[in-house]
Structure 1
Amino acid sequence: MATIGGQYLSITDLAKRMTADDKIADVIDILTQTNEVLDDMVWVEGNLPTGHLTTIRTGLPQATWRLLYQGAQPQKSTTAQITDTTGMLETYSIVDKDLADLNGNAADFRLSEDEAFLEGMNQQMAQTLFYGNIAANPERFQGLAPRYNTVQNSVAETANNVIDGGGTGSTNTSVWLLVWGKRTIHGIYPKGSKAGLTHEDVSTPAPIDDGTGGKYQAYQTKYQWKCGLTVRDWRFAVRIANIDVPSLAGASPINLQRLFIRAISKVPSLKLGRPVFYVNRAVKTWADIQQTEKPTLGFHTVEDAQGNPLTAFRGIPIRLVDQLLNTEARVV
């Protein structure tokens, strides 16, 4: 049976969205976030129905320093293949036709729901991009943090690109330097499908089973996002982990400039894609403060394509991602 007031809208929900003149109110959405990483991602159609297969070179052939009358041994390079899978983020908005048609505001009422669904899915996508772990949630895709989850070089090759910010507790955050490009890091969608979040409106009210054998007419909207992430070359992502958030405002704050410089030095070339730093609101605030108090540092203000001020470090834009946590455990 349909759970009114749970996953289905009720007449009380409708009443809370009405103005005094019986129109749908302009909803002030205090739950919106800024996750600019979604604006920057490069998207490529996968070469598999469920993801993308990348072939990487793992070994180079070695030539011979040859003496006269001495032969050179034939050699070969070696390669390996890595498969990144996609996930399918999907939900439905179902509204009883008679509820939506009250006062003749069905279109406006449904639009007020659309905005909430799109924002919610954007937040889930940004969260999975950084923290998605297919070992714990196999229906999702593998995010960045599980790929760059240690600073011990003997454990994983990607550890070479994880910088220890010194935090030891569980109030840490991470800064990410990503170089977006078709040969470096990019988003993927399954072969033969559409890129981005799709929105399918069932404009003709369809009969719905209420769970007890009864039927009612309802407007339905389907939202779906088939998406994933492939790190084609691990050298083009750098994680500055273990940044203790409370210490940013302390008497001896972390030197963010040094950490950002170290991150840049890890990348083989910034010219192979579009480099961007991603930080949460706490780090962004203190980067701006350091830029203001010590303008000789590498932090400076530039303008984006629309002429809006943007903090950058040595020409690399610093973008805000509210889904980056302040409660990360120490990366060891």
Structure 2
Amino acid sequence: MSQDPSPLFQPFTLGDLTLPNRIVMAPLTRNRATPGTDAANALTATYYRQRASAGLIISEGTQVSPQGQGYLQTPGLYSPAQIAGWKTVTDTVHAAGGRMFAQIWHVGRVSHESLLNGGAPVAPSAIAAKSKTYIAGGFADVTPPRALTLDEIPGVVGEYADAAANALKAGFDGVEIHGANGYLIDQFLKDGANQRQDAYGGSAENRVRFGLEVVDAILKVFPKTRLGIRLSPVSPANDTVTSDPAQVFGLFVSELSKRGIAFIHVVEGATGGPRDNVPFDWVALRKSFSGAYIANNGYTRDLAIEAVRDGKADLVAFGKAFIANPDLVERLRRDGPLNELDRATLYGGGEKGYVDYPALADAA
């Protein structure tokens, strides 16, 4: 195994935070929050501590409210127990030398009535997604949503801001807004899910309104240098597509750039699938944003090294590779072998497939 001097392994300044390398642990839903409280716990802390060598850890999606939950045993950031649970995690990660952002999340229509006390999920429009979610007993079709009313929207925006404030209380170094993969902000952005006839639907200018209101609300309680957002312009994840990705995401990213947030984290192509599913100019998107660009989706070691070397990305996020390889940074640095992912343990369960993957020294 050889050491590699690539810029991928060199420090980077993200906002006002210095990262030791440009490898990001992507947000990864694992469904292991404490039943009853949906709080992170000691096992969560062990899992993230093992991966603290990442330049930056972005937490699993963390719902901003009970209504924002779409999957069984995903953690929240709206109750004292959840703040305390995450504080244990961030303290543990910091003690191991790591840096960690909270990904705050509202799933919108990608939910099930069993997770919402029998109620319907909310969405920009009452259009059901052809998608599934994870509930007690396994995967199930999502429940058809109802459209948010105009007078409800400010309250949902406020929930994002409250969650960001709670992330500070919980000791996170920053926040990533989940604006990707067919969840609520992405639903507003994409006309396949948003067919409103009011100020939040129709034109690209109207469809970016909700996401920008969320950003602006958070910026009243949170420093812009520690704020980013995840986007997936052409991903059909959770049955959420748009007819005009270049127009709507070009406008959205331009407005985000004006606000001076630290980064955009971009799923290039179909989430977990082809990178070329729809033609899209990723270079133009990157150039339209003044902050850092985190690239994601299907990156290998060689592709990541090339992207950073050629200026196509400032940082590269890895997902499933971090699940199976807690020491992924060192494995990539040495060009070492990777553990095989146990897909049967991705969602729910305990230690197996969560904190028992070996590091290089253990695997030798």
User: Under a length normalisation based on structure 2, what TM-score does the superposition of the two structures give?
Assistant: 0.28
Greater relative contact order (Cα 8 A, min sep 6): structure 1 or 2? Answer: 1
Could you say which structure has the larger radius of gyration? Answer: 1
Higher strand share: 1
TM-score norm. by structure 1 comes to: 0.30
